[in-house]
Amino acid sequence: MTQRPFNFSAGPAALPEEVLNQVAAEMLDWQGSGMSVMEMSHRGPEFTRICAEAENDLRELLQVPANFRILFMQGGGLAENAIVPMNLARGGKVDVVVTGSWSKKSAEEARRYASVNIAASGSDSKFTQLPSPGSWQLSADAAYVHVCSNETIDGIEFHELPDLKALGSAAPLVIDCSSHQLSRSIDWSRVGLAFGGAQKNIGPAGLTLVFVREDLLGHALPICPSAFDYQTVAAAQSMYNTPPTFSIYVAGLVFQWLKKFSYAGKTGVAAIEQRNIDKAQLLYGALDGSKLFENRVAAHARSRMNIPFYLRGEYNTPQLTSAFLDGAKARNLLQLKGHKSVGGMRASIYNAMPLEGVQALVAYLKDFEAQYG
């Protein structure tokens, strides 16, 4: 087969080719069962095994402590913006740190279930900086503190999670890690709950991962739908209702792929994290060294996963942006258009993007600059 194009979609995003090939090979008959995974009972022995292996592999990859439950849910990141306050806020107050478009949405949704204190906002910097944790105005009585640990649209990432205890807050930290989960390790000692849609680093859309510390279970508001009550979902091992079986299966194959992944003498998450660092450095280096392109995010906050970039100054016209995107497509570099709310371009370089994909993009940036710069 000829090489597939490099796909820079922000999500649903590219999956490892090995995984796609395995899914294709097993499509009509999963391991001699005579069934596709889509056609199996979620309570049968085959799927029970698929699901348990996926959960165990994920726990091992991210070194999730024993006092955290891993839940396979549905509804995506946006549903979690409601499900989290319905489960954790107890009708009281929550602190939200607004660092971009997604945390802003989380704050708006939480207002329907709790009183929301915006503890800090990066809006003055047009979301190009992370407000430093020391400046956050945390409440004394918040039920939790919400941050989006990687803002997919703005291209901002927390490279260290805040230590709420050191900031004088006893509240658990909730992180929306949709767009960088599994790209790096997580310091669980600083986290109470983490959630994210699968459709970036993990698998097909339709699956939401929730990692929740056990002491946070069992506090849902009476209005919380049973299928979204973490306690109910945990007690039923994510089988309270029919889970997104096919997405869980593909995610499980991605976990197996990642367990075997090696790079720079490392394996697993450490290896993928190192490759993600190298890919991001290569691309930011090319943008910073360019007279035609720019990334506007402060160095300390730059995302390794989502890199928005623009044509500089007078070059930043719709015509030249379109010419760039058309030329990219012609070179098999797909889905580089920026989010509609901010325009420009965005390269999402999740786990499945090889170094060669970023090298091909950098080569194109240079050629485009030589032609138009």
Active-site residues, by number, are 102, 176, 200
CA dihedral 365, 353, 106, 309 (to 10 degrees): 0
Instruction: Give the nearest residue (CB) to ligand PMP.
Output: 76
Do 78 and 47 contact (CB within 8 A), yes or no?
A: no
Phi/psi for 173 (5° steps) reads -90, 130
CA dihedral 266, 269, 270, 271 (to 10 degrees): 40
Known binding-site positions for L-glutamate: 43
Do 98 and 221 contact (CB within 8 A), yes or no?
A: no
229 sits near ligand PMP (criterion: CB under 6 A): no
| Cis geometry, peptide bond prior to residue 12 (ω within 30 degrees of 0) | yes
Binding-residue total with ligand PMP (CB under 6 A): 11
Which residue carries 């095994």 as its tokens? Answer: 49
Which region, judged by CB under 6 A, interacts with ligand PMP, from 114-122, 171-179, 234-242, 358-366? 171-179
Residues 122-161 that bind ligand PMP (CB under 6 A): 148, 152
CB of 247: closest distance to ligand PMP in angstroms? 12
Out of 7, 87, 169, 179, the only residue in the binding site for ligand PMP (CB under 6 A) is 179
CB of 181: closest distance to ligand PMP in angstroms? 10
Report the distance separating Cα 119 and Cα 348, nearest Å. Answer: 29
> What's 308's DSSP letter?
E
Report the distance separating Cα 55 and Cα 71, nearest Å. Answer: 9
Of 99 and 245, the one with the shorter C-beta distance to ligand PMP is 99
Binding mask 329-368 for ligand PMP (x = CB under 6 A): ----------------------------------------
Of 331 and 339, the one with the shorter C-beta distance to ligand PMP is 339
Of 192 and 268, the one with the shorter C-beta distance to ligand PMP is 192
The bridge status of strand 173-176 relative to strand 142-148 is parallel
Which region, judged by CB under 6 A, interacts with ligand PMP, from 30-38, 43-51, 172-180, 226-234? 172-180
Report the distance separating Cα 301 and Cα 346, nearest Å. Answer: 16
Out of 122, 197, 244, 252, the only residue in the binding site for ligand PMP (CB under 6 A) is 197
Of 83 and 362, the one with the shorter C-beta distance to ligand PMP is 83
Report the distance separating Cα 178 and Cα 242, nearest Å. Answer: 22
Which region, judged by CB under 6 A, interacts with ligand PMP, from 173-181, 216-224, 284-292, 317-325? 173-181
Report the distance separating Cα 354 and Cα 116, nearest Å. Answer: 41
Of 251 and 311, the one with the shorter C-beta distance to ligand PMP is 251
Out of 7, 87, 178, 321, the only residue in the binding site for ligand PMP (CB under 6 A) is 178
308 sits near ligand PMP (criterion: CB under 6 A): no
Here the tokens at position 250 are 């593909």
Residues 4-23 that bind ligand PMP (CB under 6 A): 11
252 sits near ligand PMP (criterion: CB under 6 A): no
Sign of CA dihedral 277, 21, 12, 187: negative
176 sits near ligand PMP (criterion: CB under 6 A): yes
Here the tokens at position 312 are 């500089």
Known binding-site positions: 43, 102, 152, 176, 199, 241-242
Of 179 and 183, the one with the shorter C-beta distance to ligand PMP is 179
Output the DSSP codes for 128-142: SSPPPGGG----TTE
CB of 123: closest distance to ligand PMP in angstroms? 17
Report the distance separating Cα 178 and Cα 199, nearest Å. Answer: 8
Report the distance separating Cα 196 and Cα 202, nearest Å. Answer: 10
Binding mask 73-92 for ligand PMP (x = CB under 6 A): ---xxx--------------
Question: How far is residue 94 CA from its own chain's centroid?
Answer: 22
> What's 176's DSSP letter?
E
Interface residues with ligand PMP (CB under 6 A) are 11, 76-78, 102, 148, 152, 176, 178-179, 197
